[in-house]
Amino acid sequence: MVTTREKSGVAGRPVGAVVKGRLQQLLAFASLIVIFAFFSVASPFFFTYGNFTAILFSTVVIGTLAIGTTFVIITGGIDLSIGTGMALCAVMSGVFIVNLDLPLAVGLVATVLFGGLMGLVNGINIALLKIPPFIATLAMMLVAEGLALVVSGSAPIYFSEEPAYTKISTGNLIPGVDFPNAVIVLIVVAVIAGVLLTKTVLGRYTYSIGSNEEATALSGIDVRKWKIAVYAFAGLFIGLAGIMISARLGSAQPATGMGYELQAIAAVVIGGTSLSGGKGSIVGTLIGALIISTLNNGLQIMSIPQEWQNVILGCVILVAVYTDILRKKEA
Amino acid sequence: MLTETATPRTLPLLEVEGVDKSFPGVRALSDMRLELRAGEVLALVGENGAGKSTLMKLLSGIHTPDTGTFTLDGEPLTIAGPKHATELGISIIHQEFNLVPHLTVAQNVFIGREPRRARLLLDERRLVRDARELIGRLHLPLDPNAVVGDLTVANQQMVEIAKALSYDPKVLIMDEPTAALNDAEVATLHELIRRFVRPETGVIYISHRMEEIRRIADRVTVIRDGQYVDTVDVAATSTREIIAMMVGRTLADHAGPQGVRADREVLLEVTGLSTKALLKDVTFDLRAGEILGFAGLMGAGRTETARAIVGADPVDGGVLTLRGSRIRIGHPADAVRHGIGYLSEDRKRYGLLLDKDVKANVTLGALARRFTTAGFVHDRAARAAASEYVGSLRIKTPSVDQTTKFLSGGNQQKVVIAKWLARDCDILIFDEPTRGIDVGAKEEIYQLLNELAEQGKSIIMISSELPEVLRMSHRVVVMSEGRVTRILDAAEASQETIMHYATLRPDENVEDAKELGLDPVETGAAEDEEGKA
């Protein structure tokens, strides 16, 4: 069409740009190491293999929720229904596997899909009915909280007849090595989510919608469809988290869910995902979730009262987000 | 022109000397000079990316220069920040308004220095009185109690000006003040500038519009690539000479389009398109390989027509026929599927992912269709395609990984165009394709539009610049008050005929309605309503 006059910028991505783009992750990772080093010096019980696996194990539920939520937050949305939604999914898992006595695999798939269904409803409310994400998922949070109690009759459902179910969380897939299955599940879904976010159309549109929803729509992308897809996809992680928490406890507790959504959102934010949308990563979110569980673990080991742990976590969130703002100012 | 009313002192009012400014990787200004004399309007021109905005940011204290000096009234000047700049007597009106839409005119004008009683309580009455006094002094058509968000763009501009002048500045700097104004509004603005310029004040007027500069400015300073080129008397210099200084080369003279496309196949027919808000029975057709210009005043309904066609806004009625068969469009995704793309006038808001790189922007529309298998993105192919468009459209960017917000307006526009070329649409709707774009890049975009039409693409070009419409269009659709008032062939189109049809008021004027052959009952009712009001 027109002749090339100047160098067209075919050159590969400069290292500086990569470092800059990943700075928030590097910062988060560095703080994780600092926290690790601090607790290792402060307590002789911290730096042990047993404690490492304990930290990883306690990251699983929040990590799973946070991975799904990362997609939602990158679109510029929010999902408050993941905590109580998780409790409802745990109850549904009990219904499927214990009450209805479905085969384990079928029950697991049905539970994950049930989470996806909740996400789908969120997505439809947000994308088609244009209800703001905060309100739509707040409503879903209450609905799920109530339904979990209604369906279970406000009583826990025990998986005592299903020893295989608890193995999903506490069993050791690798014989002779003390490495809980739950952590393997988290790693696998993190890898899948990471690939989806960075290598697929779903991921690209997730970022595009968060960056500029109107421009994305005018570029011929059916933003409504993709937003529904993102919320439904994030819902699958609610279902999975419901399985992981009930497998860990050996029972579906209808009332334990509230509060998890904020921990998961905190993990996402500490990991450098912007609440205004358009940027974020799965690696960052995992680091964020690890920071939270390492803090909780370390503070417990140092016998710091539970009440103080949340105070410290709150301060960590402020520091994490403020460094992100500082970084943006420099750019 | 101002010498008739004021005798300018030869003393410089504001002087900029030897100013250098670098940003990481970019030398934005080098040995920049500028001399504003007291009592004059000095135009500042240069292509986008020439350094005008950087210079403005230095003068408003947003950035500090690496080297060089500023002098105001013979006194050396150090500007600590935007607030300090206004205190020193330099007021700047930026291209993008700094107004709070929910507040009133008076509240906006005195924002941050509201009159108070007993230190804590706002003195709302005095606020309104002060604003009224200021507005009266400036002869502005504003109501101090009006909410700014409800005002027209032109009146919002007036609020900005009132705010700037309320500081009694010595130097008023205006960055593209007329970008969103129509001719009458521009005249009002120029009136205001002339009243402001007194023997002890001066105006720096940044604009792309040459005929405006000729009307308002005494001298013009040209900068190019971050460097000072020259300052000349406007009266003694031709527009062609000024443009040549800006681009560093002379531009060839261009005639209108060659021949009409009457022989070509009709690609798109729009029949009776109406919206609740504005459009009434908009009907026209678009041929293959045709550039169809859309002319009209602000608010005539040109952008609304485009948005209705692509499904960006809800439609009340009307039929779209593509290659003879009726199509339904409910969302821009439907339009793109039918090969109709829309390039908005507001590319930052509707065209670009500003925080994403060139590659992501160029491949956004075509991603699912051209650069994926089973949902997985081929990064290498996407990068190669993006690089190709960067080369062929001559997008000035260090690489395809550059974030688009750092590109100049012209290059951003090219990125948007590249996105649509990558998607390979048959019909492209360009809304103000050269708004805010410098002269050199404008030429390239014109050339590109012509090439696309040559290739058989159909183009709708909405433009507020009549010379642009006349030069590019095979036919011109003229709109007024939401109606198509006339479709002109290139041969019959002229500034005069277009303006005639653009200013018809069929809803208010029976004669105009008759000329258009509209139902007299409807217009009679409209007239009655007016009589009652």
Nearest chain B alpha carbon to A10: B387
Query: Do B328 and B436 share a domain, yes or no?
Result: yes
A-chain CB neighbours of B360 within 8 Å are 204, 207-208
B353·A200 Cβ contact <8 A: no
pLDDT at A196: 96
B331·A217 Cβ contact <8 A: yes
Nearest chain B alpha carbon to A197: B376
Tokens representing B524? 């009679």
Domain boundary among B395, B424, B453: B424
Q: Sorting pLDDT into bands at 50, 70 and 90, what band is A331?
A: low
Question: Of A205, A211, A218, which has the smallest distance from its Cβ to B332's Cβ?
Answer: A218
Among A203-217, A305-319, B327-341, the least confident range:
A305-319
- Of A30-34, B494-498, B527-531, the range with the highest mean pLDDT is A30-34
pLDDT at B360: 94
Q: Sorting pLDDT into bands at 50, 70 and 90, what band is B528?
A: very low
B-chain CB neighbours of A227 within 8 Å are none
pLDDT at A19: 54
Q: Is B394 on the interface with A (CB under 8 A)?
A: yes
Query: Do B287 and B393 share a domain, yes or no?
Result: no
Query: Taking all residues of chain A, what is their mean pLDDT, rounded to a whole number?
Result: 89
What's the mean pLDDT in A160-174?
89
Query: Do B322 and B379 share a domain, yes or no?
Result: no
Residue B48 has pLDDT above 70, yes or no: no
What's the mean pLDDT in A74-102?
96
Residue B8 has pLDDT above 60, yes or no: no
Q: What are the sequence ranges of the domains in chain A?
A: 28-36+45-330
Query: Do B388 and B300 share a domain, yes or no?
Result: no
pLDDT at B257: 65
- Of A4-18, A290-304, B197-211, the range with the highest mean pLDDT is A290-304
Question: Of A2, A200, A216, which has the smallest distance from its Cβ to B393's Cβ?
Answer: A2
**Number of folded domains in chain B?**
3
Is position B273 within any domain? yes
Give B512→chain A minimum CA distance, Å: 36
**HEC profile for chain A?**
CCCCCCCCCCCCCCHHHHHHHCHHHHHHHHHHHHHHHHHHHHCCCCCCHHHHHHHHHHHHHHHHHHHHHHHHHHCCCCCCCHHHHHHHHHHHHHHHHHHCCCCHHHHHHHHHHHHHHHHHHHHHHHHCCCCCHHHHHHHHHHHHHHHHHHHHCCCCEECCCCHHHHHHHHCECCCCCCCEHHHHHHHHHHHHHHHHHHHEHHHHHHHHHHHCHHHHHHCCCCHHHHHHHHHHHHHHHHHHHHHHHHHHHCEECCCCCCCHHHHHHHHHHHCCCCCCCCCCCHHHHHHHHHHHHHHHHHHHHCCCCHHHHHHHHHHHHHHHHHHHHHHHHHC
Give A325→chain B minimum CA distance, Å: 15
Considering only residues 277 to 316 of chain B, which have any Cβ-Cβ distance to chain A shorter than 8 Å? 310, 312
CATH code of the domain containing B33? 3.40.50.300
Contact A211, B356 (CB under 8 A): yes
Among A123-127, A304-308, B124-128, B308-312, the least confident range:
A304-308
Query: Do B54 and B180 share a domain, yes or no?
Result: yes
Scan for tokens 């990563």, then name that residue.
Answer: A281
Q: Is B232 on the interface with A (CB under 8 A)?
A: no
Among A27-31, A106-110, B56-60, B401-405, the least confident range:
A27-31
Interface test with B, best of A7, A8, A18 (most B CBs within 10 A): A8
- Of B45-54, B60-69, B248-257, B318-327, the range with the highest mean pLDDT is B318-327
Q: Is B368 on the interface with A (CB under 8 A)?
A: yes
pLDDT at B137: 87
B-chain CB neighbours of A276 within 8 Å are none
A202·B391 Cβ contact <8 A: no
What's the mean pLDDT in B214-224?
92
What's the mean pLDDT in B339-358?
92
The CATH number that domain A28-36+45-330 falls under is 1.10.3470
Query: Do B399 and B430 share a domain, yes or no?
Result: no
Is position B11 within any domain? yes
pLDDT at B525: 42
Q: Is B365 on the interface with A (CB under 8 A)?
A: yes
Among A163-167, A308-312, B143-147, the least confident range:
A308-312
Is position B453 within any domain? yes
Is position B516 within any domain? no
What's the mean pLDDT in B256-264?
65
pLDDT at A316: 85
pLDDT at B532: 42
Residue B231 has pLDDT above 70, yes or no: yes
Query: Do B208 and B78 share a domain, yes or no?
Result: yes
Is position B258 within any domain? no
Is position B38 within any domain? yes
Percentage of chain A exceeding pLDDT 70: 91
Environment class of residue B454 by beta-carbon count within 10 Å: exposed (0-12), middle (13-18) or buried (19+)? exposed
B331·A224 Cβ contact <8 A: yes
Measured CA to CA in angstroms, residue B369 lies from A286, B206, B429 at distances of 32, 43, 21
Residue B412's domain comprises 352-424
What's the mean pLDDT in B168-187?
83
Q: Sorting pLDDT into bands at 50, 70 and 90, what band is B327?
A: very high
Scan for tokens 């506490």, then name that residue.
Answer: A170
Is position B471 within any domain? yes
Query: Do B185 and B76 share a domain, yes or no?
Result: yes
pLDDT at B26: 67
Residue A220 has pLDDT above 70, yes or no: yes
Give B289→chain A minimum CA distance, Å: 16
Query: Do B230 and B376 share a domain, yes or no?
Result: no
Residue A43 has pLDDT above 60, yes or no: yes
Question: Of A6, A17, A204, which has the smallest distance from its Cβ to B396's Cβ?
Answer: A6
Residue A6 has pLDDT above 60, yes or no: no
**Angle, CA A172 vertex, CA A171 and CA A174 arms, to 5°:** 160
Read off the pLDDT of residues A235-244 as tens digits, 9 standing for 90 and up: 999 999 999 9
List CB contacts of B180: < 8 A, sequence separation 6 or more.
Answer: B153, B154, B157, B298
Q: Is B319 on the interface with A (CB under 8 A)?
A: no
Give B312→chain A minimum CA distance, Å: 7
Query: Do B25 and B81 share a domain, yes or no?
Result: yes
ipTM: 0.82
B337·A220 Cβ contact <8 A: yes
Q: Sorting pLDDT into bands at 50, 70 and 90, what band is A5?
A: very low
Domain boundary among B371, B390, B424: B424
B358·A9 Cβ contact <8 A: yes
Query: Taking all residues of chain B, what is their mean pLDDT, rounded to a whole number?
Result: 86
Domain boundary among B219, B247, B275: B247
